[in-house]
Structure 1
Amino acid sequence: MSADPAVTQIVQSLPAWRRAVLKVGSSLLAADGGGLSPRFALGLAQFVSASQAAGREVVIVSSGAVAAGRAILPKVDEAGAAIAARQALAALGQAQMIGLWQRFFERPVAQVLLTHDDLRNRRRYLNARATLNELLALGALPVVNENDTVSVDELKLGDNDNLAAIVAALIDAEVLFIATDIDGLYDANPRTNPLARLVPEVVELTPEVFAMAGGSGSAVGTGGMRTKLEAASKAGAAGIDTVLFNGRRSEVLRGLAHDRLEGTRIRAARSRIAARKYWLRHAPLEPGAILVDAGAAAAIAQKGASLLPGGIAGAEGDFRRGDMVEVLLRDAGGEQRVARGISQYSAVDVRRIARRHSREIEAILGYNYGGNVIHRDDLVLM
Structure 2
Amino acid sequence: MSPSAFSEQRLPPWRRAVLKVGSSLLAANGGGLSTDHAQAIAGFVNACHAAGRQVVVVSSGAVAAGRAIMREQPHDGAEMAERQALAALGQARLIGFWQGLLDRQVAQVLLTHDDLRNRRRYLNARATLSALLRHRAVPVVNENDTVSVDELKLGDNDNLAAIVAALVDADVLFIATDIDGLYDADPRRNPDAQPVEVVSQMTPALMAAAGGSGSAVGTGGMRTKLEAAQRASAAGVSTVLFNGTRADVLADLARDALRGTRIHALRSRVAVRKHWLQNAPAEPGGIVIDEGAANALVEKGASLLPGGVITAEGDFRRGDMVEVLLRGEDGSERVARGVSQYSAADIRRIARRHSREIESVLGYSYGGTVIHRDDLMLV
Q: Identify which of 199, 204, 213 aligns with 1:202.
A: 199
Structure 1 gaps, min length 5:
280-299, 309-320, 323-382
**1:30 counterpart (15, 24, 27):** 27
1:172 aligns with 2:169: yes
SS of the residue corresponding to residue 110 of structure 2 reads strand
2:36 maps to 1:39: yes
- TM-score, normalisation: structure 1: 0.68
Retained in 1: the 8 A contact 2:112–2:151? Answer: no
Output the CA distance in 2 between the equivalents of 1:53 and 1:155. 34
Does the residue aligned with 1:234 lie in a helix, a strand or coil? helix
Residues 1:148 and 2:137 aligned together: no
Is 1:78–1:85's contact at 8 Å kept on the other side of the alignment?
no
How far, CA to CA, are the matches of 1:6 and 1:150 in structure 2? 40
Query: Is the counterpart of residue 53 in structure 1 residue 61 in structure 2?
Result: no
* Pair 157,127 (structure 1): closer, same or farther in 2 beyond 3 Å: farther
CA drift of 1:106 comes to 3.5
The answer (yes or no) to whether the contact 2:155–2:219 under 8 Å persists in 1 is no
What secondary structure is seen at the aligned counterpart in 2 of 1:60? strand
The CA deviation at 1:79 is: 3.3
CA distance in 1 between counterparts of 2:245 and 2:151 reads 33
Q: Distance in 2 between matches of 1:42 and 1:154?
A: 27
Task: Check whether the contact 1:180–1:223 (CA below 8 A) recurs between aligned residues.
Answer: no
> Separation in 2 of the partners of 1:305 and 1:251?
48
Alignment of structure 1 residues 125-274 onto 2, 5 Å: 125-153=122-150, 159-214=156-211, 224-270=221-267, 272=269, 274=272
- Superposition deviation, residue 73 in structure 1: 1.0
SS for the counterpart of 1:112 is strand
Q: Who is 1:82 aligned against?
A: 79
- Deviation per residue, 1:7-43 (Å, 9 max, x gap): 33x0001122100000000000000111100110000
Q: Which structure 2 segments of 5+ residues have no match? A: 285-315, 318-379
Instruction: Report the CA distance shift for 1:78/1:93 in structure 2 as closer, same or farther (over 3 A).
Output: farther
Identity %, equivalent residues:
67
Supply the distance in 2 between the matched residues of 1:38 and 1:231 (Cα, whole angstroms).
26
> Measured at CA, do residues 207 and 140 of structure 1 come closer, stay the same or move farther in structure 2, by a change above 3 Å?
same
The Cα offsets for residues 175-213 of structure 1, whole Å up to 9 and x where unpaired, read as 000001000001111111111111111110011111111
Counterpart of 1:291 in structure 2 is none
Give the match for residue 116 of structure 1: 113
1:252–1:262: structure 2 CA closer, same or farther, 3 Å change rule? same
The whole-number CA distance in structure 1 between the counterparts of 2:151 and 2:48 is: 37
Alignment partner, residue 314 of structure 1: none
Q: What's the CA shift string for 1:210-243, capped at 9, x where partnerless? A: 11114789xxx99600000000001001111100
TM-score (norm 2): 0.69
Alpha-carbon distance between aligned partners in 1 of 2:232 and 2:41, rounded to the nearest angstrom: 21
Letter in 2 for 1:12: Q
Preserved CA contact (<8 Å) 2:213 2:220: no
Runs of 4+ in 1 over 6 A off after TM superposition: 154-157, 276-279, 304-308
The alignment yields a C-alpha RMSD, in angstroms, of: 3.3
2:168 alignment partner AA: I
Structure 2 contact 155–220 (Cα < 8 Å) conserved: no
What is the identity, as a one-letter code, of the residue corresponding to 1:18?
R
Aligned to 1:377: none
Other structure's SS at 1:7 match: coil
Report the equivalent of 1:7.
5
Cα drift, residue 276 of structure 1: 8.7
Closer/same/farther in 2, CA of residues 85 and 193 from structure 1, 3 Å limit: same
Residue of structure 2 in register with 1:62 after alignment: 59
Q: Secondary structure at the match of 1:143?
A: strand
Summarize the Cα distance change of 1:305–1:175 in structure 2 as closer, same or farther, 3 Å threshold: closer
> Deviation digits for residues 100-158 of structure 1, max 9, x if unmatched?
11001232100000023311211110000000010000011100000011112289885
In structure 1, distance between residues paired with 2:257 and 2:56: 20
Amino acid at match of 1:7: A
